[in-house]
Amino acid sequence: MPTIYDVARAAGVTAATVSVALSGRGVVNRKTRERIIECAQELGYRPNLVARSLTMRRTHTIGLVIHDIANPFYAEVALAVEQIAQRAGYRVIFANTTGDSRLGEELIEDLAARQVDGIIAMPGGLRADAVRAIAATGLPIVPCLWDEEPNVGLKHSVGVNFGAGGRLVADHLLDLGHRHIGIVAIGTPDEPTMRAREATFRDRLAERGCPIDMALWQWADGSLERGHGAAHNLLAVARPLTAIYATNDVMALGVLAAARERGRHVPDDLSVVGFDDIGMSRFLTPPLTTVRIEKTALMAAATDLLLRLIAGEEVTAPPPLLPSLIPRDSTAPPGRQSATEGR
């Protein structure tokens, strides 16, 4: 690979001049510039961006730390981030934690060592204090869509009022007339903290005189497979159950599958509601009632925020957005009097 020195020699000038000529920063004689450009082209010169990064202390790279990109929710997030970054001349390194917060910490440290200009930190496999530690370093980092600790105690973050979403679901189901509601939540039985979207749901149910039966509370890890399994557990329980709230769409997809496998027709025999509104939700059978998170808009805003932060602009993070419930065909008033078991 030819360096700037090679083209300098070819053009009969010095490296500094080539640098200036090629970047169009300073002023260079028209003819010399042309000669330089020509030589560069001929030699197939391509700037070494890591050398430039070293000098400039800017890599034009950002890091995106997510749970796992195979989850459509994060995939959509990643697309939004990359598109905004790309247009600004930034590239993005993505790293999957798969829920391992030990790994998450390593990854985030590595990104910092690689001198990324900033980081977008999604929840799952990243502890708040690790994020704070990085932030304390001065590295711009914006936490996005964190359930607990919406802003991670940081000045810049972009969030959503997940609690409001949980309430919307409770109201929707209650209004339809459901009284026997199961939930497939993300988390583990032993972990004491509960995410807002689950907590407010439970609280609202109690508030409206229909406290949830904890035998109908299932924990899962957010994956399709686990959501599917949890739904089977729920449907196997010999109790009335007319609706299931899966706290993300991917698990809701698993719930729909389990319902079908057990001969439960959705929504006649069972209502299902999800959370997130991933792209495919409206195409499912039946189209899924869910809580919409404006992922794309939010992540675009988050990325823009990060880029401005990097540029040293004085910016202020947008306030948490209110999610909205999108009623589709997977929910309906309870039909056949609380079927207990499909098959």
Partner DNA sequence: CTGAAAGCGCTAACAA
Partner DNA sequence: TTGTTAGCGCTTTCAG
- Which spans of this chain sit near its own copies (rule: CB under 8 A)? 1, 46-51, 53-54, 59, 61, 68-72, 75-76, 78-79, 82-83, 86, 91-96, 107, 109-115, 137, 224, 228, 253-254, 256-257, 260, 279-280, 283-287
List strand residue ranges (DSSP E) for 50-156, in order: 61-66, 91-96, 118-121, 141-143
d(CA 51, CA 239): 66
Considering CB distances under 5 to 8 angstroms, the limit depending on partner class, which of DNA, its own copies, none binds residue 109?
Answer: its own copies
d(CA 179, CA 307): 47
Residue 46's alpha-carbon distances to 10, 25, 42, 87, 334, in angstroms, are 15, 17, 11, 20, 66
Considering CB distances under 5 to 8 angstroms, the limit depending on partner class, which of its own copies, DNA, none binds residue 92?
Answer: its own copies
Considering CB distances under 5 to 8 angstroms, the limit depending on partner class, which of DNA, its own copies, none binds residue 22?
Answer: DNA
Q: 51 or 206: whose CB is closer to its own copies?
A: 51
SS3 72: helix
Considering CB distances under 5 to 8 angstroms, the limit depending on partner class, which of DNA, its own copies, none binds residue 301?
Answer: none
Considering CB distances under 5 to 8 angstroms, the limit depending on partner class, which of DNA, its own copies, none binds residue 13?
Answer: DNA
Closest distance of CB 317 from DNA, Å: 29
- Confirm if 220 and 233 have CB atoms less than 8 A apart: no
Q: 9 or 180: whose CB is closer to DNA?
A: 9
Contacts of 299 (CB under 8 A, 6+ apart): 77, 80, 81, 84, 120, 144, 158
Closest distance of CB 221 from its own copies, Å: 15
Contacts of 283 (CB under 8 A, 6+ apart): none
Closest distance of CB 32 from DNA, Å: 3
Q: 5 or 285: whose CB is closer to DNA?
A: 5
Q: What residues line the site for DNA (CB under 7 A)?
A: 1, 3-5, 12-17, 19-20, 22-23, 25-29, 31-33, 45, 47-48, 51-52, 54-57
d(CA 156, CA 16): 39
What are the helix (H) ranges across 177-289?
A: 196-207, 224-236, 249-261
